[in-house]
Structure 1
Amino acid sequence: MGSIKQDIKEAALGFTEDIQERWRDFVLFLKEAWPILTLLFILLVGIWLYADPPPPRQVLMATGTEGGSYEVMAKKYVTFFEKKGIKLEPVKTKGAQENLKRLADRKDSLQAAFVRAGTFNPGGIGGIDSLGAVDYEPIWFFYRGPE
């Protein structure tokens, strides 16, 4: 048994030799298998792009009538998505029914829309998914009577 310095020096030398040997094996593997690895990489990237395409960078969104609350909310969405690198273009429509018809039409370039809660019946129109409620809208009842 040698001194502690000698033991540490031998352990460090063995460690560096082991790393160098593993590196040489890895380089040899890459030299022999690079065509297969390249083909596998291209195949995986192709599958990834086909299975999960990147989101669009330009989106058309129906907002409703001019001056309405959905138009105001759409302007906030425009600035939010602009920071994310997505151009959101609000499209004025006559209201929720037109928004639903345009979303259901596959030939229409519209991709998103604001729709009042209760207007959309999932069983009635196919191919449309709801992302959820944006906010609650109160219903006001006005009554004029003897009470």
Structure 2
Amino acid sequence: MGLVETVKRLAGYKAWANEITFSTVTSLSEGEATKERKTRYKNMIYTLNHVYVIDCIFKAHLENQPHPYTARNTENYPPLEELWKAVKIIDQWYIDYAHSISEKELLEIVNFQFVDGGEGAMSRSDMILHVVNHGTYHRGLVSDMMYQVPAVPPANDLTVYLRDVI
């Protein structure tokens, strides 16, 4: 499998994993998704919002456009339903992007500024790998918070996606 096909697969995996994660978070008892827990972003929704913000920042980098963010998360987070609508839009953008880009373009290096002011330079394919990996990491934190409810989080590993969807 070539780089373009790998990027397409990763974008599809990202959307699928978000779908089952948001579906499970939505099904929790009222207040569980916003209940403060001992974790970096305090609750499930704020953690998922952080993933969304990073997805938006890297979308802007991929488009060589500015973005409005000055931090890796917003001061406040939106309601779960509103966040889920926004995540579906950005996930579809990544799927469409993956299906429209060539291998040559995926290998191009893009220079950008990190929100903390540092200089960054990554290939387009590495940026996509980053947003997929970053989302996986934080969905894992959300899964841990689900166990604290207690609730059983969905199995959202790449292997499950490959087995059940591909």
Q: TM-score range by the shorter chain?
A: under 0.3
TM-score, length-normalised on structure 2?
Answer: 0.18
Structure whose alpha-carbon radius of gyration is higher = 1
Higher helix share: 2
